[in-house]
A and B are shown apart, each in its own frame.
Chain A
Amino acid sequence: MSAGRDPGLQPERTRLAWRRSMLAWTVVTALAVRLGSTGGTVGALSAGVAVLVWGAALVLCWPRATGTGPARTGGRTLPLVALGALGLALSGVLLVIRGLW
């Protein structure tokens, strides 16, 4: 990306936004693993799934976060990442509800 063409540094800002998002995801995954580690078999399973989803999100978003590969916006990455976040939320709900018994 030539600097003269883009004084607003839009691609860089977007790249950093992807990085921030993956960092936030990492923190949430750590919390999910910690909660799962106290929840027996179901907890261990959901912690494992959280780590797998985190890895998948990282692989999926890596080109956008680092600027490697072709520059692109939109596409399937966005809905997939959002579904991953929803999955994290739902597995958390499952763990919390299960902890009541």
Chain B
Amino acid sequence: MWEAIRRWFDPADLRSVGEPPDYRFSLANERTFLAWLRTGLALVGGGLAAAQFLPPLPMSHLREVIAVALLLLGGIVAIRAVDHWARTERAIRLGQELPASRFPALLALAVGAGAVLLVIAVLVRAIGEG
């Protein structure tokens, strides 16, 4: 793991692998990284907004749980974006198949599950008030 992290910060190490690719592929890879970074920033922003704008919810500390979950998810997305970018760049330089990843599916499931839980929380409150 530390080896992988050291490699992110060592552009020379990446350039020592394989052939220099068509620069357009590197730019596309970088844009994909940026799209993931924005996804992570959106989750972080969502967490920060939940912490300060959500009204009190029926379960105690549910607001804080939502905020922390979104913040952590955003951080993970950002870090995973670098790892995926580095592995993709390596694969492009080596002419290998691009790395497959379960991460998008897992993220989608997590966000979907979170949305369902929130719907339940809103319904519980609506029924409690009605």
Contacts and interface: CB of A to CB of B under 8 A. Distances in A.
Interface string A79-101: 10111011011101101110110
Contacts, number: 122
Contact of A34 (B8, B23, B30, B52): B52
A10 B82 CA distance: 20
Contact of A100 (B14, B45, B61): B61
B35 interface: yes
Interface residues of A, number: 40
B22 to A, nearest CB: 10
B64 A24 contact: no
12 contacts: A10-B28, A18-B34, A24-B42, A31-B49, A38-B52, A76-B11, A78-B30, A85-B40, A89-B47, A92-B48, A96-B47, A96-B51
Overall SS of chain A's interface = helix
Contact of A86 (B64, B68, B75): B75
Overall SS of chain B's interface = helix
B68 A13 contact: no
A90 B72 CA distance: 7
Please indicate which of the listed interface residues A32, A73, A81 has the most CB atoms of chain B within 10 Å of its own CB: A73
A77 to B, nearest CB: 9
